[in-house]
């Protein structure tokens, strides 16, 4: 075993996006690509000598190889200890929990999250800070700067480490502790929720279906929902993680989790349905015959969170990303608690959570979480729903109707145009940005523009500023459209169009969202020229 220094040159394009660095798997497998980026993370955070890190990923193709490389590099860079999930597996929220619980210096998470996996699909890597959250921009900027000046990386020449069972081993002076990926996380969930109440609900014949989408939550969901809470065996489907997620997109939305939608809309539908994504931080919620929009789920959870033991004292405040609907704002207003609006990406919630300003956060992209970790957390959201259902003994559908009756309904939908040529997407955004100043007062098919601007965020805790976070146009009647380019894709550009309109008449709260939003959908195209710029007639994905 020998520690060597390998000469290398900077590789272009190693710039972390919304959540870490995501590229085609084959790009990550090119000579030096992974090694350069890992060394840049270590250099960007001031070195890792004597430090303790957590390591794990969602099990996608190349997860195992990349983990071995990272362990050998951690040893050569002088780390004291790495805590790694068995078989290099950790869901993103479980990794966040371990980073916090063990008081470590952060962790490396191998995942491209909701992106598909496999040799021809996507891979990703991100660094989380000691608070357990994704590195904020001041740190990812340093990592990126390090990639640009890199001349060498350090690695140990050694055989693979056996990660197949829990225990402690060493690589030179590096201690490697292999842990059960599920145990600590399951324990945390038991502390937060009333497992007895949920167990009673399930024992009473309440049926659930959890679709793990062949991704990392399978083992977590089987242990928690079936083994500990007593859901019927088989309630968790697609529970065995596979390196290419069964060939699908592990993205819990009505398009990619169509099986679940079909099951929940069938005559024999269970009472509750849910799905999570590749790395276990997203959630999709359904009731019998009803799909709960993520923005509505966040609002409803905020309204009822006090029914779960960990939140019985109420919420300190809530936060949502800017494109997320304002449904949760109405709950916060009624409860008299603060509500923050942040840019897209979980890293922007970290300071608010650390400072104790908020308890619950969420994004329209099926991300919900709380101050229990510093990542969004799919199974946590499922358990909070189940805890609320156990306490109220109402159906998902009834809870939703009651919510709309009390707060009104923020009709909401997101239209994605994927794999658009980057030039065309940029032209659309640049063109609209240039016209923002002249939109006010103009009408588009009966909707009059009240406000139009580009979102920037001033972090109230550390004063940092994030600019260019989405173009937004608000209408006189309270409706809104937001335009953004995705920061997680690996080919071309993805245009996201977020559509919202507020309905306060309870008699009009059960329309089809696409129909209710039709005037805004038409106005969005007229304002931004979506069809003319992209050449697309319709979005690829509608959530």
Residues 6+ apart with CB under 8 A from 39: 8, 73, 77, 146, 150, 152, 153, 154
Rounded to a whole number of angstroms, the minimum distance from the CB of residue 215 to ligand VG1 is 11
- Residue 338, both tokens: 């603060």
Residue with tokens 């997407």: 425
Instruction: Return the SS3 of 81.
Output: strand
- Residue 296, both tokens: 């509505």
Q: Is 281 in the site for Co ion (CB under 5 A)?
A: yes
Task: Name the residue number minimizing CB distance to Co ion.
Answer: 113
Q: Is 122 in the site for ligand VG1 (CB under 6 A)?
A: no
**Interface mask (CB under 6 A) for ligand VG1, residues 255-294, using x and -?**
----------------------x---xx------------
Site for Co ion in 504-523 (CB under 5 A): none
206 binds, among Co ion, ligand VG1, none (CB under 5 to 8 A by kind): none
Q: Is 114 in the site for ligand VG1 (CB under 6 A)?
A: yes
Alpha-carbon dihedral of residues 29, 32, 38, 41, nearest 10 degrees? -130
The answer to whether residue 113 is catalytic is: yes
One of 40, 113, 276, 486 is an active-site residue; which one?
113
**Interface mask (CB under 6 A) for ligand VG1, residues 456-495, using x and -?**
------------------------------xxx-------
Instruction: Return the SS3 of 71.
Output: helix
Q: Give the residue with the Cβ less far from ligand VG1, 93 or 270.
A: 93
Rounded to a whole number of angstroms, the minimum distance from the CB of residue 288 to ligand VG1 is 26
Applying CB under 6 A, among 363, 371, 503, 525 the residue interacting with ligand VG1 is 363
Residues 6+ apart with CB under 8 A from 200: 390
Applying CB under 6 A, among 113, 368, 413, 469 the residue interacting with ligand VG1 is 113
Residue among 337, 529, 527, 328 at smallest CA distance from 447: 527
Residue 171 bridge partners (DSSP): 174
253 binds, among Co ion, ligand VG1, none (CB under 5 to 8 A by kind): none
**Interface mask (CB under 6 A) for ligand VG1, residues 309-338, using x and -?**
------------x-----------------
Residues 71-89 as b/e (b if ≥16 CB within 10 A, e otherwise) read bbbbbbbbbebbbbbbbbb
Provide the 10 A C-beta neighbour count for residue 427.
14
Residues 12-24 as b/e (b if ≥16 CB within 10 A, e otherwise) read eebebbbbbbbbb
* 432 sits in which H/E element: helix 422-435
Q: Is 35 in the site for ligand VG1 (CB under 6 A)?
A: no
Query: Phi and psi for 31 in degrees, rounded to 5?
Result: -55, 130
344 binds, among Co ion, ligand VG1, none (CB under 5 to 8 A by kind): ligand VG1
Rounded to a whole number of angstroms, the minimum distance from the CB of residue 406 to ligand VG1 is 27
> Residues touching ligand VG1: how many (CB under 6 A)?
18
Rounded to a whole number of angstroms, the minimum distance from the CB of residue 92 to Co ion is 6
Q: Give the residue with the Cβ less far from ligand VG1, 321 or 368.
A: 321
- Residue 383, both tokens: 């358990």
> Residues touching Co ion: how many (CB under 5 A)?
5
Known catalytic residues are 113
| Footprint of ligand VG1 (CB under 6 A) | 18-19, 113-114, 277, 281-282, 321, 344-346, 363, 365, 367, 486-488, 496
């Amino acid at each position: 075993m020998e520690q060597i220094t390998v000469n290398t040159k900077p590789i272009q394009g190693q710039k972390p996006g919304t959540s870490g660095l995501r590229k085609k798997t084959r790009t990550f497998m090119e000579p030096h690509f992974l090694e350069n980026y890992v060394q840049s993370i270590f250099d960007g955070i001031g070195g890792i000598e004597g430090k303790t890190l957590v390591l794990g990923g969602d099990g996608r193709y190349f997860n195992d190889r990349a983990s071995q490389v990272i362990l050998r590099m951690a040893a050569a860079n002088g780390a004291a200890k790495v805590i790694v999930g068995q078989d290099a597996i950790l869901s993103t929220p479980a990794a966040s929990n371990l980073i916090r619980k063990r008081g470590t210096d952060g962790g490396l998470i191998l995942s491209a999250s909701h992106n598909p996996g496999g040799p021809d699909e996507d891979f990703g890597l991100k660094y989380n800070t000691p608070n357990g959250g994704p590195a904020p921009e001041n740190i990812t900027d340093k990592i990126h700067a390090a990639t640009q000046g890199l001349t060498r990386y350090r690695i140990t020449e050694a055989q693979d480490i056996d990660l197949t069972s829990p225990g402690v081993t060493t690589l030179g002076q590096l201690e490697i502790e292999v842990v059960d990926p599920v145990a600590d996380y399951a324990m945390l969930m038991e502390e937060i929720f009333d497992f007895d109440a949920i167990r009673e609900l399930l024992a009473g014949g309440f049926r659930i279906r959890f679709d793990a989408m062949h991704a990392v939550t399978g083992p977590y969901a089987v242990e928690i929902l079936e083994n500990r809470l007593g859901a019927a065996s088989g309630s968790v489907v697609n529970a065995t993680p596979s390196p290419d997620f069964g060939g699908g997109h592990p993205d819990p939305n009505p398009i990619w989790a169509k099986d679940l939608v079909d099951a929940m809309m069938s005559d024999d539908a269970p009472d509750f349905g849910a799905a999570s994504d590749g790395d276990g931080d997203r959630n999709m919620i359904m009731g019998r015959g009803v799909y709960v929009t993520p923005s509505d789920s966040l609002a409803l959870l905020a309204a009822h969170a006090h029914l779960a033991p960990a939140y019985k004292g109420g919420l300190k405040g809530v936060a949502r990303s800017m494109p997320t609907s304002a449904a949760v704002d109405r709950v916060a207003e009624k409860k008299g608690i603060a509500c923050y609006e942040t840019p897209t990406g979980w890293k922007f919630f970290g300071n608010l959570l650390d400072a104790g300003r908020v308890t619950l956060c969420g994004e329209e992209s099926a991300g919900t979480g709380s101050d229990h970790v510093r990542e969004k957390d799919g199974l946590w959201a499922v358990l909070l729903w189940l805890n609320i259902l156990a306490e109220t003994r109402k159906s998902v559908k009834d809870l939703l109707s009651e919510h709309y009756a009390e707060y009104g309904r923020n009709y909401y939908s997101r239209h994605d145009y994927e794999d658009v040529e980057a030039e065309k997407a940029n032209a659309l955004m640049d063109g609209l940005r240039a016209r923002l100043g002249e939109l006010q007062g103009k009408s588009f098919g009966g909707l009059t523009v009240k406000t139009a601007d580009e979102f920037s965020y001033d972090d109230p805790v550390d004063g940092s500023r994030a600019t260019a976070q989405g173009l937004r146009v608000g209408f006189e009647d309270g409706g809104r459209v937001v335009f953004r380019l995705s920061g997680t894709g690996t080919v071309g550009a993805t245009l996201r169009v977020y559509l919202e309109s507020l309905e306060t008449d309870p008699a009009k709260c059960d329309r089809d969202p696409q129909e209710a939003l039709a005037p805004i959908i038409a106005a969005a195209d007229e304002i931004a020229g979506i069809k003319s710029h992209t050449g697309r007639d319709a979005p690829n994905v509608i959530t």
